[in-house]
Amino acid sequence: MAREAGIRLETNRRAFLGGTALAALGATVGGGLPSIPQAHAQAAAPAAAKGPQYLKFPGKNDKLVVLGEKPLVAETPESLLDDDTTPIEKFYIRNNGQIPDETKNPDAWKITIDGEVNKKIEITLGELKSKYKAVTRRMVLECGGNGRGGFSPPARGNQWSNGGAGCAEWTGVALADVLKDAGLKPTAKYTAHYAADLHLSGDATKPTISRGVRIEKALDPYTMIVWAMNGQPLPNIHGGPVRLIVPGWAGSASQKWLTKITIRDREHDGPGMTEFSYRTPIKPMVPGDKGDPANMRILESMPVRAIVTSPANGAKFAAGTKELKLRGASWAGDLTVKQVDVSTDFGASWQRATLEKPKNKYDWQRWTATLKLPSDGYFEIWTRATDSKGFMQPHQAGFWNPQGYGGNAMHRIAVLVG
C-alpha cells in the first residue's frame, strides 16, 4: 500500500496513484509516469487490479462506491459533490442495520418524546407537520468516519475517503420546539435516539444504534426533525419518512427512521456511545495500539475539511493548457471556514481561493480558484481549509484512534497536462 511506502497522495484508499486511475493514466503515457517511484507503483498494483465496487441501487448514481454491503454503505466520489445542493441520487449512504420497508402511510408514523420531561409526547408525522412551523435549511450531513481511509495503520471500519458527506436542503421542524412543548426537567442532560431499523442479527430487542447529544445541541435551532430532502419526501434509504438532522456533528447522531427520543439525566450509553465508538483520544495514543476507553471522549463537532470537486482526480488536459479552473467545497462542523488555499508544488507555496458565504449556518462553503500552470506535465493539486478558530487541515490524518474518527487530511488530486 502507498501508506506503507510512506507516500501520501490521498486520504483515499482508491487514491489516484494507488488505484485504477494510475493504471489508466499510465496507459496514456506509455505505461508509466517518471515522477512516481517504481516501488510505489508496484505496491499499488494489487489495488489497481481489484478496483472499486460501484453501487446498484434504485434512484442512486451508479458511480457511488460501495464500502460495505451488510450493512449497506456507499460513498460519493468528490467529483460528484460539485453541486451547490447535493442531489439525492448523489448523496452517500450509511446504514448500521437492516433497511426497513418503506412505510405506506408516512403521516401516520409515530414519534415519542419521553424521559426527563414534564409531559410525554406521542405525535404522528402528520400532526408534527400541522402543529409546528416548518423550516428549510441547507446543511452538511457527514459520517463520523469520513476520512478514515487516511489513517496509518488502518483503523477499523469502512475506509471512507472524503465521500461520506453531502449538503442537502432539509425541511422539518426544530427539535427545540417539540422539546419546549414536552417541558424539559432541570435534570435533562442528554438525548437518546431510537429508530425502526432492525439489528443485523435480526434480534428485534437490540437497537441497531442508539446515539444521543448533549441537551444544548438538541436545543440548537438548526437541530431538526425532518421529513423532506431537497423538496421531496425523505427517501426511505435516507431515513424516511422522518429522521433527525444534528448538523455539524457525526451523522450517526442524526437518527434515521426516528421513532423515539428519550431525554436522560446523564450521558447516553446506548449502542454507538461507549468504548471506542464515535470517540477520539484525550491524550494522543500510539498508532495501532489497543487503546484505553478511559482515554476517549465523544466526537462532537466534526473537523474542518475542503475538497476539490472539479476537476476530477485523474483528469487529463490538452497540451499547452496554461490555466486550470478549480471548484470545491469546504465545511467545519459547528464552525465556519475562514479560508481555503490550494497548491500545485506539494505545499511549497499556497494560493488563496475565493470562498463563498454559506446560505445559512451549517451549509458548506463553496470555493473557486484559477491556477497558472508553468508547463505541460504531471501536477498534484492540494487543498486545505482553515476554520474560524484558526485550525487548519493537516497533511495527514493525525491523532490515530482504533475506529478512525477525525481524519481530515488535505485532499489531493492529480492531473496530467499534455
CA-wise closest residue to 249 among 144, 361, 389: 144
Same domain for 126 and 30: no
- Of 269, 298, 327, the residue at which a domain comes to its end is 298
What contacts 54, CB < 8 A, 6 or more positions away? 62, 63, 64, 65, 66
Distance CA 184, CA 60 (A): 40
Q: Is residue 400 part of a domain?
A: no
Q: Is residue 55 part of a domain?
A: no
pLDDT of residue 130 exceeding 50 = yes
CB count within 10 Å of CB 114 equals: 15
Same domain for 256 and 108: yes
What contacts 6, CB < 8 A, 6 or more positions away? none
* CATH number reported for the structural domain that contains residue 98 in this entry: 3.90.420.10
Contact between 63 and 54 (Cβ < 8 Å): yes
pLDDT of residue 25 exceeding 50 = no
Same domain for 132 and 38: no
pLDDT of residue 122 exceeding 90 = yes
pLDDT of residue 23 exceeding 50 = no
pLDDT of residue 385 exceeding 50 = yes
Same domain for 125 and 1: no
Q: Is residue 290 part of a domain?
A: yes
CA-wise closest residue to 354 among 374, 333, 381, 325: 325
What share of the chain in percent tops pLDDT 70?
A: 88
Q: Is residue 168 part of a domain?
A: yes
Same domain for 24 and 98: no
Same domain for 278 and 150: yes
Residues 26-35 have pLDDT tens digits of 333 322 223 3
Same domain for 181 and 104: yes
Overall residue count recorded for the chain in this entry: 418
Look at residue 284 and give its three-state secondary structure.
coil
Question: What is the count of structural domains for the chain?
Answer: 2
Q: What is the mean pLDDT of the chain?
A: 90
Q: Is residue 354 part of a domain?
A: no
Same domain for 134 and 273: yes
Residues 154-207 have pLDDT tens digits of 999 999 999 999 999 999 999 999 999 999 999 999 999 999 999 999 999 999
Scan for cell 423515539, then name that residue. Answer: 260
Contact between 298 and 279 (Cβ < 8 Å): yes
Q: Is residue 386 part of a domain?
A: no
Contact between 84 and 144 (Cβ < 8 Å): no
pLDDT of residue 223 exceeding 90 = yes
What share of the chain in percent tops pLDDT 90?
A: 88
Judging by beta carbons within 10 Å of its beta carbon (0-12, 13-18, 19+), is residue 205 exposed, middle or buried?
Answer: exposed
Q: Is residue 16 part of a domain?
A: yes
Average the pLDDT over 267-290 and give the result.
97
pLDDT of residue 398 exceeding 70 = yes
Q: Is residue 387 part of a domain?
A: no
Task: Identify the pLDDT of residue 50.
Answer: 74
- Domain containing 3 equals 1-50
Same domain for 230 and 125: yes
Q: Enumerate the β-bridge partners of residue 98.
A: 198
Average the pLDDT over 369-375 and give the result.
96
- Of 298, 326, 341, the residue at which a domain comes to its end is 298
What contacts 186, CB < 8 A, 6 or more positions away? none
pLDDT of residue 15 exceeding 50 = no
Same domain for 120 and 9: no
